Structure 1
């Protein structure tokens, strides 16, 4: 039985050829400062929202989704028509990172900064700054000073 209070948010790539929904609440939200995310996003930091795979549904244009795995821990996906970024699948964590910027109606509430030892943009916002990632996800769990 579905919960009537569960929200569904619509998102899409840059041109709209790929459309998707996310339902419920993400497992985590925050900012990643690693070189891979910075290079991929073409920015100094990447805003992420991690979702259980069952919560993410491509509703249009699945045949336009292309992907690349730089490492076995992540498969980055984008629209093959416009190049707009969509997701990063993290199979080892059984989570999908849906880039916060591609879900316009979703209220992004970050809780952590990860890979902060690689930062190019210092942010003083009172959130924890993880050296890499939390221990339960395979990292050191070390928190750095803001």
Structure 2
């Protein structure tokens, strides 16, 4: 396993049609508990890795990438052949969330939990629990108890 910053890290959708890589250093890694991420991932929490938008390169199957944006801050992308989720672009932040599970060589080192006020799965891991988002990302910056 490689440590963060030693990329490029290669990933793909569930069937392998959509291939991509990220390089450089992730801006952040953690867990999102918001209802949008939970519904999109069909799980109680989303493990995210955030990268600057230019760090993402689609290396195969670009014509099979579907996009849906419920809000102007999140453009969710998936493979139109298998339905596998691959990444979410956040253009207003200049970041892309590449789902940790799609980057098998990246050592996932989560630093915090965001949108913890919406959690349905408490995770007592000693990591900071943000009510919503850090202030520098447009959130309140309010911390919640574990």
Query: TM-score w.r.t. structure 1 length?
Result: 0.95
| Structure 2 partner of 1:126 | 126
Structure 1, 114-123 or 20-29: larger mean CA deviation: 20-29
| Structure 1 partner of 2:109 | 109
Unpaired stretches in structure 2, ≥5 consecutive residues: none
Distance 2:76 2:21 in 1: 18
Distance 2:13 2:74 in 1: 19
Distance 2:7 2:104 in 1: 14
- Going from structure 1 to structure 2, the CA distance change for 1:79 and 1:104 (only over 3 Å counts) comes to same
Indicate the SS of the match to 1:81.
coil
Superposed CA deviations along residues 12-71 of structure 1, whole A, max 9, x for unmatched, are 000000001111210000000000000000000000000011111100000000000000
Instruction: Indicate whether 1:20 and 2:13 are aligned.
Output: no
1:10 Cα shift?
0.7
Instruction: Indicate whether 1:46 and 2:57 are aligned.
Output: no
Q: How does 1:29-44 map to 2 (within 5 A)?
A: 29-44=29-44
Query: TM-score w.r.t. structure 2 length?
Result: 0.95
1:7 Cα shift?
2.1
Unpaired stretches in structure 1, ≥5 consecutive residues: none
Displaced runs of 4 or more, over 3 A: none
